[in-house]
Amino acid sequence: MNYRKLGKTGFNVSEISLGTWQVGGKWGDPFSHETADAILNKAVDSGINFIDTADVYGDGESEKAVGRLVRSRSERVYVATKCGRQLQPHVNEAYQPEAIRKFVEASLRNMQLETLDLIQLHCPPTEVYYRPEIFEVFDRLKEEGKILNLGVSVEKVEEGLKALTFSNVTTIQLIFNMFRQRPTELLFSEAKRHDVGLIVRVPLASGLLTGKFSRETTFSPDDHRQFNRDGAAFDKGETFSGVDYETGLAAVEELKKVFPDQPNLAPIALRWVLMFDEVSCVIPGASKPSQLESNLSAAELPALSGEQMEAVRSIYEQRIKPLVHNLW
């Protein structure tokens, strides 16, 4: 495993880390702590030392599993969680300093930890990034020893750029993959200039970039890849990176021609993300240990060639960019 600096947190984190949206099992299934424990422990056994969760994942069960892991291991495991998505309705006006404080304290109780290594605002409405009082409350929480660092999880490049104006923001979590390349235009360089770490989520475009899906693939009614394709439940960009499913399948077929010797495109897609030095780590999810093994294999791949990088860029420019580039 290779390690990279996570911005001004000073943490050296595994470049392939773990997101825990699905750690209790596949979408729509009840949360399995047995599955979660198997995945989480295998991750640490394999050198992963950064785990991303959120208070809404599995209605809090993901946080419980992550906290149990950290307390049971001797290795230094950095824990990042998120807050804000419990607000109903999830609107700018609902974001208040006291509500944020209660969420942070609830996460600490849920994980049975004294301090959070990293707390992230969980994709708040864009207006929240223009309210200094929301960011200021995290300074008080840090003074009280409840958090070490503040980060933001964003939907849009604009939100990431605005977050950089707050000096206490240490990380930005964003969607970045072969089908979502806009962040490289400005956000990457600005984050580097501010020494802010970049945490990449949805690196496989909700599984599209594994190359294993087809027109015949079906998803359960409780799977966001079925019910959120038009953004009915949350931001459309979280599902297949906002790319129309048929368009995505066509682009994947072209990617397979660029990497003809790869039966599973997932490791290639992760290695592509890691070709960008500004990225601190990538946090693919796993609903079973075998998916974790696939993700980890990306660390063993050689760097992609200039020709391969150009081919990926060309597919994006022709197939994807005209449809989604300016949306996020």
- Token pair of 185 as six digits: 């235009």
Angle between helices 97-111 and 61-72 (to 10 degrees): 50
Alpha-carbon gap, residue 249 to 308, rounded angstroms: 19
Is cis: bond before 125, omega within 30 of 0? no
Q: What are the residue ranges spanned by the domains of the chain?
A: 3-327
| Beta-carbon count within 10 A of 54 CB | 25
pLDDT score, position 231: 85
- The crossing angle, in degrees rounded to 10, of helices 33-45 and 289-296 is 20
> Residue 232 has what pLDDT?
84
Burial class (CB in 10 A: 0-12, 13-18, 19+), 106: middle
**CB of 90 within 8 A of CB of 62?**
no
Sign of the alpha-carbon torsion through 91, 97, 99, 102: positive
Q: Which of 323, 42, 71, 14 is nearest to 179 (CA)?
A: 323
Separation of alpha carbons 35 and 236, rounded Å = 28
- Among 199, 39, 50, residue whose Cα is nearest residue 117: 50
Among the four given CATH numbers 3.40.50.1820, 3.40.50.1100, 3.20.20.100, 3.40.1190.20, the one describing domain 3-327 = 3.20.20.100
Quote the pLDDT of residue 22: 85
Q: Which mean pLDDT values do the consecutive 10-residue runs of the chain (328 residues) have?
A: 97 97 80 94 97 94 96 97 96 97 98 98 98 98 98 98 98 98 97 98 94 90 87 88 94 96 93 98 93 94 97 97 93
pLDDT at 161: 98
Which of 20, 11, 247, 26 lies closest to 149 in space, CA to CA?
A: 11
pLDDT of residue 256: 97
| Distance, CA of 30 to CA of 7 (rounded, Å) | 36
C-beta separation of 282 from 19 below 8 A: no
Cβ atoms of 99 and 87 closer than 8 Å: yes
The reported pLDDT for the residue numbered 85 is 96
Tokens standing for residue 225: 């890849």
| Cβ atoms < 10 Å from Cβ of 55 | 23
User: How far does the chain reach from its first CA to its final CA, in angstroms?
Assistant: 31
C-alpha dihedral (9, 14, 19, 25), degrees to nearest 10: -150
Model pLDDT, residue 30: 86
